[in-house]
Amino acid sequence: MRTAPRGTPPPRSSCGPSEPAPRVGDRVGAAVPGAADRGLAAPKAELEMSVVVPARDEEAHIACCLDALAGQMNVAHDRYEVLLVLDSCTDDTEGRAIESAAAHPELRLHLLEGPGRGTGGARRTGMEAACDRLLAVGRPDGLIASTDADSVVAPDWVAAQLAAAATGAKAIGGRVEISAEERAALPEEVPAMRDELARARWTTLLQGVGDEEAELSEHWQFSGASLALTAATYVDIGGLEPRPALEDEALERALRSHGIAIARPLSVRVTTSARTKGRAFRGLSRDLEVSSWLARRSFEGARYGLEGLMRLKSGTVTVILPARNVGETIGAVLAALAPARRRGLIDELIVVDAGSTDGTQAIAATHGVTVHQEDELSPEYGPARGKGDALWRGLAATSGDIVCYLDTDTHNFSADFVFGLLGPLFENPGIHLVKGSFRRPLRVGGAELSDEGGRVTELLARPFINLYLPELAGFVQPLAGEMAARRSLLESISFPVGYGVEIAVLIDALRLEGIDALAQVDLGVRYNTHQPLSELGAMAYAVLAAASARVHGADAIEAFAPGPFVLPGRDRFGVRQIATEERPPLNISPERAPRGIG
């Protein structure tokens, strides 16, 4: 740890992790691997609060943060200090901080090296040092406080917390609000979403805490942007868990498990950034990213009509219909698409049939549609292995600039499905993939259970996405077969041959184009044929394999030799082989050049 020089700006240097520091004291195993001590002046005897600020690549915000800390009112500057933890910075955060210290010689600013393992590790590094410094001057009731580098504390932030501690508060959560200017720049729906979430959290807090904490709570927050606890309390709970993100929530749980009430006075106030690209995997920035995406990239299918789309159309459109024993529904699907074909919205339409035995192919033929048996497309790859294989082979056999996939087992299909999927792509060249969203009732006998369909989505895909890919959490139907995309994107993606194809396309599109290139459109209600649980298990296996390969790496999944799916029963033992292999991106195989229109 190093104390920032005062008066003149010293030379700038980049910051990053260094060798592990020795343990500080014998209390709680203080050192965080990778953190380093830069050499720190002894704490002043007057020290009552040590403020920890973790920072990674914050050169755009750190000066405002430190200026606010330097400008504290109603408190002598020797009563508090600031420990800035530089966590593997690649920009000039350190230089900006040193300049700020030179501009505010009264500010006691000290610099530490963080471990480079996320916000939690950096915050713990600072809080461990802060605890030792307060204990060294004999102040176990002194405050370890923390804010974030993209936040600006109120002019009385320090004084308000010291006042709360003087009345007996052992832990303090400040009121954190988004910058008014930045809040105004968010999509107008986002602040309303945030306010609704705040009300829900406030209700949850009051229901989950005891009478003492409820009486001390004037708001619901306890976040890294404004939290504090006494040094003695920090020791009692075993310190801060150095999680990569949401370490503040872990700290709140630790306090609660030790029976320590958190005071949440409205007098402790902080303003924070509304940026949607933060430094942590989860937290406010991620929440704002998802809610902003929902506001910008969620569309209503009903707003798009045939004539309006014709005015917007600038390229060719292919519609691919995978089919297997859908004789009951495919006729109505093709009849609904006929006007769009005649008008020229759809330039190319094919059915890729999986050996149907119920007359599906004959019904499609009566509508004048080209029907391909999936095994006959790209025959050099052998027999088709599943739905994803059919989609991939259909892509290779066609050439439209925009490709629209539609499931053919929909009982209430209308042309609005295809209109809705195409609309955002026609309107916005920055959108590359559109997924359908809809409500999916589950019909059981004569009863209809609202929104109880999509069981694989709710039990597997949605939890998986929230755990590993939270930026995709806004998709209502991540496994929807109704999707449209630019050919250039689809030809850059490998296709799982089975039911993992929809989630694979979604994840790969995110990785290739970013979240703003993805959209969803509300298509209303969709009724389809529901599969038995035994089939849903096989589908879920394929989805899990495809998604895991993209999160953990294909090699990591191959090490488990995916494929066998054991189905134990009361009087039988079955093993089903689930196809998990993938077809290569078409744009890397010259011999797979698309063919079709023209």
Q: What is the DSSP letter of 146?
A: E
Contacts of 325 (CB under 8 A, 6+ apart): 356, 357, 358, 360
Model confidence over 513-528: pLDDT tens digits? 999 999 999 998 877 6
When mean pLDDT is compared over 37-51, 227-241, 451-465, the highest value belongs to 227-241
Higher local confidence (pLDDT), 214 or 456: 456
Contacts of 113 (CB under 8 A, 6+ apart): 15, 16, 17, 18, 35, 36, 37, 38, 85, 86, 87, 125
Q: What is the pLDDT of residue 19?
A: 32
Average pLDDT score over residue span 261-276? 86
pLDDT of residue 278 exceeding 80, the answer is no
pLDDT of residue 27 exceeding 50, the answer is no
Average pLDDT score over residue span 460-465? 94
478: left (phi over 0), alpha (psi -120 to 50) or beta: alpha
- The confidence band for 170, taking pLDDT boundaries of 50, 70 and 90, is very high
- The confidence band for 200, taking pLDDT boundaries of 50, 70 and 90, is confident
Q: What is the pLDDT of residue 29?
A: 34
Model confidence over 281-330: pLDDT tens digits? 556 666 767 777 888 899 999 999 999 999 999 999 999 999 999 999 99
Higher local confidence (pLDDT), 104 or 445: 104
Q: What is the pLDDT of residue 588?
A: 82
pLDDT of residue 84 exceeding 80, the answer is yes
Higher local confidence (pLDDT), 84 or 446: 84
Lowest mean pLDDT, pick from 128-132, 301-305, 423-427, 531-535: 531-535
Q: What is the pLDDT of residue 128?
A: 96
Average pLDDT score over residue span 542-565? 90
Q: Exposure of 264 by Cβ count < 10 A (0-12 exposed, 13-18 middle, 19+ buried)?
A: buried
Q: Percent of the chain beyond pLDDT 70?
A: 85
Q: Can you give the C-alpha Rg of the chain in angstroms?
A: 29
Spell out a b/e string for 230-253, using b for 16 or more CB atoms within 10 Å of the CB, else e.
bbbbbebbebbbbbebbbbbebbe
pLDDT of residue 597 exceeding 60, the answer is no
- The confidence band for 593, taking pLDDT boundaries of 50, 70 and 90, is very low
Other Cβ atoms within 10 Å of 312 Cβ, number: 12
Q: Which residues pair with 300 in a beta bridge?
A: 522
Q: What are the backbone angles phi and psi of residue 190, rounded to the nearest 5°?
A: -65, -50
E strands present in 104-220: 109-113, 143-146, 151-153, 171-173, 175-178
Model confidence over 380-432: pLDDT tens digits? 999 999 999 999 999 999 999 999 999 998 888 999 999 999 999 999 999 99
Sign, CA dihedral 531-537-539-543, equals: positive
pLDDT of residue 509 exceeding 80, the answer is yes
CA–CA dist 42, 146 (Å, integer): 20
Contact yes or no for 500/522 (Cβ under 8 A): no
CA proximity to 321, closest of 343, 341, 351, 347: 351
Strand, helix or coil at 594?
coil
Contact yes or no for 25/19 (Cβ under 8 A): no
Average pLDDT score over residue span 119-135? 95
Lowest mean pLDDT, pick from 35-39, 206-210, 321-325, 453-457: 35-39
Average pLDDT score over residue span 94-102? 94
Q: What is the DSSP letter of 127?
A: H
Measured torsion, CA atoms of residues 446, 452, 456, 461, in degrees rounded to the nearest 10: 170
Q: What is the pLDDT of residue 448?
A: 64
Higher local confidence (pLDDT), 316 or 219: 316
Q: What is the pLDDT of residue 312?
A: 97
Structural domains in the chain?
Answer: 2-13+42-282 (3.90.550.10), 297-592 (3.90.550.10)
Spell out a b/e string for 455-479, using b for 16 or more CB atoms within 10 Å of the CB, else e.
bbbeebbbebbeeebebbbbbbbbb
Average pLDDT score over residue span 131-159? 96
Higher local confidence (pLDDT), 330 or 6: 330
Average pLDDT score over residue span 112-141? 94
Q: What is the pLDDT of residue 187?
A: 72
When mean pLDDT is compared over 23-27, 97-101, 204-208, the highest value belongs to 97-101
- CA angle in degrees (0–180, nearest 5) for 374-380-384: 30
Contact yes or no for 38/10 (Cβ under 8 A): no
Q: What is the pLDDT of residue 11?
A: 34
**Neighbouring C-alpha atoms within 13 Å toward the C-beta of 559:** 6
Lowest mean pLDDT, pick from 30-34, 128-132, 405-409, 556-560: 30-34
Model confidence over 557-581: pLDDT tens digits? 888 888 888 888 777 778 888 999 9
Q: Name the amino acid, one letter, at 496.
A: P
pLDDT of residue 442 exceeding 70, the answer is no
pTM attached to this predicted model:
0.73
pLDDT of residue 537 exceeding 80, the answer is yes
Q: Name the amino acid, one letter, at 501.
A: V
Question: What integer best gives the mean pLDDT of the chain?
Answer: 86
